[in-house]
Amino acid sequence: MAISGLLKRYDQQLRTDAETPGAAAVERLGPLRLVTFEGGRGFVTYQDLAGAGAETIARWVAEALAFYRRDPAIVRIEWKTRGHDHAPGLHEALLKHGFEPDETESIMIGPASELSVEVDLPPGVSLRKVTEEQDIRAMSAMQDRVFGSPVSDGNAAAVLRRMARRDGMELWVAEHQGLIVSAGRLEPVSGTDFAGIWGGATLSQWRGRGIYRALTAARARAALTLGKTLIHSDSTEYSRPILERYGLLRVSTTTPYHWRR
């Protein structure tokens, strides 16, 4: 499928309530969806900006921030932008109101069938889906270390809450002699053709040995079993070429802007 067709499906199927299955609450402001998550996090997203001009967009930014400021429990907000949107003045309005841009990532999409390949694993390494709390905490701690963050009980607790909701999320790990060396999650998107692959992390000494490739293939097979034909992911410049080799296409970009109280 051409990039234009993949991007159309992305906009139509994923930029809806399907984007935020774990939301505690959602309010509307024009075309904006003002999402609240547990843990004091706000999240702003939308399917498009309805052709609005810079003045209207600036007003929406101010009103969205005011909405979250009224709730003292909200301590941080992410405003998710996409590179293919018509959004005059949005960057300037976000900066004016204290939002800071994070790293731009690539929106990657491709057929799940192309990712579902057989990969030889290093001796002693095996893959499995995990559901038990002990495994989930070990997986979360490994990802924290790989991403350069302190090991956080809060991050593990958030994943455990998601698992308790039984919303379809699957957690996959590769392990060697009981040690988790690579991990990632699969998020089937209800009512769409898509499943997302997220949180991919591999310990540095185990990289370049096909483990993450095998983990991606396992998640793609799981997605196909669930009837999902397309895989999507937001990728850093480190992971983008890896996913391109796997058959995913860069259809656009996404840049998160962050505000903190």
The CATH number covering residue 174 comes to 3.40.630.30
C-alpha to C-alpha distance for 26 and 136, rounded to whole angstroms: 28
With 90 as the cut, is the pLDDT of residue 239 above it? Answer: no
Helices (H), the chain: 3-9, 54-69, 90-96, 112-115, 133-146, 153-165, 211-225, 240-246
Strands 170-176 and 179-188 turn out to be antiparallel
* 260 in a structural domain: no
* 90 in a structural domain: yes
Helix axis angle for 133-146 and 153-165, nearest 10°, is 130
With 90 as the cut, is the pLDDT of residue 34 above it? Answer: yes
pLDDT score for 223: 97
pLDDT score for 154: 84
* 145 in a structural domain: yes
Of the pLDDT bands very low, low, confident and very high (cuts 50, 70, 90), residue 237 is confident
Residue 98 and residue 16 share a domain? yes
Residue 235 and residue 196 share a domain? yes
Q: What is the mean pLDDT of residues 5-24?
A: 91
The domain that holds 44 is classified in CATH as 3.40.630
Map tokens 């992911």 to a residue.
233
pLDDT score for 228: 97
pLDDT score for 26: 96
With 90 as the cut, is the pLDDT of residue 260 above it? Answer: yes
pLDDT score for 158: 86
Strand partners, 33: 28, 45
Of the pLDDT bands very low, low, confident and very high (cuts 50, 70, 90), residue 240 is confident
Domain end position, chosen among 107, 125, 155: 107
pLDDT score for 236: 86
pLDDT score for 249: 95
Residue 229 and residue 192 share a domain? yes
With 90 as the cut, is the pLDDT of residue 21 above it? Answer: no
Residue 101 and residue 120 share a domain? no
Q: Where is average pLDDT lowest: 45-49, 139-143, 163-167, 229-233?
A: 163-167
pLDDT score for 38: 83
Domain boundaries, position 230? 110-252
C-alpha to C-alpha distance for 109 and 148, rounded to whole angstroms: 27
Residue 127 and residue 79 share a domain? no
* 261 in a structural domain: no
pLDDT score for 152: 85
Residue 68 and residue 27 share a domain? yes
User: What are φ and ψ of residue 73, in 5° steps?
Assistant: -75, -20
pLDDT in tens, 93-131: 999 999 999 999 999 999 999 888 889 999 999 999 999
What sign does the dihedral 254-240-170-187 (CA atoms) show? positive
User: What are φ and ψ of residue 86, in 5° steps?
Assistant: -85, 105
Predicted TM-score (pTM) of the model is 0.88
Residue 197 and residue 86 share a domain? no
pLDDT in tens, 155-198: 899 899 889 988 899 999 999 999 999 999 999 999 999 999 99
* 258 in a structural domain: no
Domain end position, chosen among 91, 107, 123: 107
Residue 233 and residue 127 share a domain? yes
* 257 in a structural domain: no
Residue 235 and residue 114 share a domain? yes
Residue 114 and residue 103 share a domain? no
Residue 117 and residue 223 share a domain? yes
With 90 as the cut, is the pLDDT of residue 22 above it? Answer: no
Of the pLDDT bands very low, low, confident and very high (cuts 50, 70, 90), residue 18 is confident
* 259 in a structural domain: no
Q: What is the mean pLDDT of residues 4-14?
A: 95
Question: What is the tally of structural domains in the chain?
Answer: 2
Q: Where is average pLDDT lowest: 74-83, 115-124, 236-245, 251-260?
A: 236-245
* 239 in a structural domain: yes
Domain end position, chosen among 56, 77, 107: 107
Of the pLDDT bands very low, low, confident and very high (cuts 50, 70, 90), residue 259 is very high
Residue 150 and residue 85 share a domain? no
